[in-house]
Structures are given as structure tokens and as C-alpha cells.
Amino acid sequence: MVRLILSSMRPGQWVKNLLLFAGLIFSQNFFNPEMLLKSIFAFLLFCLFSGCVYILNDIIDLEYDKSHPLKSKRAIASGQLKVSSALAFSIILIIGSFILSFYLNRNFGFIGLAYFVLNLVYSQYLKHIVIIDVMSISAGFVLRAVAGAVVIDVTISPWLIVCTTLLALFLGFGKRRQELLILEEKATGHRKILSEYSPYFLDQLISVVTASTVVAYAFYTVSPEVKTKLGVSHLELTIPFVLYGIFRYLYLIHQKEKGGSPAQLLLTDKPILIDVLFWLVSVFLILYLK
């Protein structure tokens, strides 16, 4: 049962919670032991938050998941894990997680609560509203980024919110496109909102957020305000890595018909993984070896 519950919490998706370290890295406090420890605890708590959300989503979407070629193999959808057992475990875990989060930082606790409520509302209502469904997913990424800044009490940069929002929209619309292609005529049976989308429409949305993401990040790196605040120059040297990462992801979406799971692509596609590592190294060199 432990193995089935852990798989239902989808640890492979926890890579998304690494976004909590953005505030720590870009505030130039990564080597501050106290702040680093707080960020690690915050990351672990969000892994528990998101894990419980995944379990509850699997329970809510049980009938829909049974018609999905991949999701039907999950522990709850396949019947290997009883709904009652999964629900009891998630309730106990989420209560414990909230107690720990409020103890760590009160504002962080409220953001964690907002993230949890957002996902519950999404599962019940927001996922049935075209465009709002993907924007809701994007909001979840923004809350992760904000939580990472709040827990260490650093200023939340508007650039962090803008870039996170656009990147999350890019990944979200790419995921919707992949769902349409892989499910074909069963698409609306699995997720009704997919009837409101078409590959052409999603391609237009992806084009908009792709350009916006690149421009926003480029403006961030060359902003005089940012350079003065961080006391660094040449942050724009990291732009090529962002460009390649986005272009590679577009290649995987359109040429390889992937993109259904951004987290899985990040962990399994070697070019993207190497690109992210190079981006991180360049960021650290510029921010911390001034």
C-alpha cells in the first residue's frame, strides 16, 4: 500500500516544486545556511501538498482516468489502491503538512493553503472553463515561486511573477495540445474541456506565450533596475540557454508529439536537462562570482 500511495503522489512531478528555490537563487542568498534550510523544508512541504492534490485529483477524476490510455494504469484508476485508503491517507498528510507549514512561516502557510484550495477548485470547476483551465495551472506555478520568496522573507520580484506565469502558460498549452493528439476521438471523453480546443488554436496560443516568455526574460536580464539591485552585469548571457530550452520543447511538441508531461520531459530528455544545467551554472557564475 505504501508503494501504491507513493506512486499516486507522483514523485516524478515534484520537480515542479524546484521553482521554490528561484527566490533564494536570484536574491543571491543560496549560500545562506538558514535561508537554504528554510527553502529545503518549504520544497518538501510543497511536495506533500502537491502529492495530496494528485491523490485527490485521481479520486475526483476516477471515471475519466479509466478511459485514458496512460492514466488508467494509475493505482487508483486501476483499482489497485482503494479510494477510501487513499482519501484517509491524504487527509492525514495534508493536515500534518499545514501544521508544519504555518509553524515554518505563517505567510508561507497561507500560500500553501491557497495552492491547495486553488487545485481543489480547479478539479471541480476551473478545469471546465476554456483558457481559464490553463491559467489556473499557471497560477499554481506562480504560487510556488511566491512561496519560495515568502518563506525566506525576500522581496518578490515582479519579473519572477511575469516570467513564471508565461512559462507555465507555455507548458500548459503544450500539454493540452499533446492530450488532443494522443487521445484523438477519446479526448473529450477524458477531459470535456478539450472539445473547446483544437491543435490550430493551441498553436496560436503557444506562439503568443512563447514570444512573450522570451521577451520578458530578455527584458529582465537587461533591466537597469535589476542590474543595480543585484550588482551584476551580463545576465543577458543566459538568454541563449532559455532560447534553446524553449525551441527544444517546441521541437518535441511538434516533431516528436511529446509534451504531455513537462516534468517527465525535463527528467528524460537529455538535451533539455543539459541545457537547464548549463543555464543554472551560468546564473550562479554571474550572480555569485561578481
3-state SS, 130-158, equals CCHHHHHHHHHHHHHHHHHHHCCCCCCCH
Question: pLDDT tens string for the chain (290 positions)?
Answer: 778 888 888 888 899 999 999 999 999 999 999 999 999 999 999 999 999 988 888 888 777 777 666 677 777 887 788 888 888 888 999 999 999 999 999 999 999 999 999 998 998 889 899 999 999 999 999 999 999 999 999 988 899 999 999 999 999 999 888 888 776 655 555 567 888 888 899 999 999 999 999 999 999 999 998 888 888 888 999 999 999 999 999 999 888 877 667 778 888 899 999 999 999 999 999 999 86
pLDDT of residue 141: 95
* Alpha-carbon span 29 to 271, nearest angstrom: 29
CA distance 183 to 65: 12
User: Is the CB of residue 255 less than 8 Å from the CB of residue 282?
Assistant: no
pLDDT of residue 216: 96
- pLDDT value of position 12: 85
**pTM, entire model:** 0.89
pLDDT at 187: 52
Question: Quick one: 52 exposed, middle or buried, by C-beta within 10 A (0-12, 13-18, 19+)?
Answer: buried
What domains does the chain contain, in order, with CATH numbers? 2-156 (1.10.357.140)
Cβ-based neighbours of 217, under 8 Å, separated by 6 or more: 163, 239, 242
Angstrom distance (rounded) from CA 94 to CA 277: 32
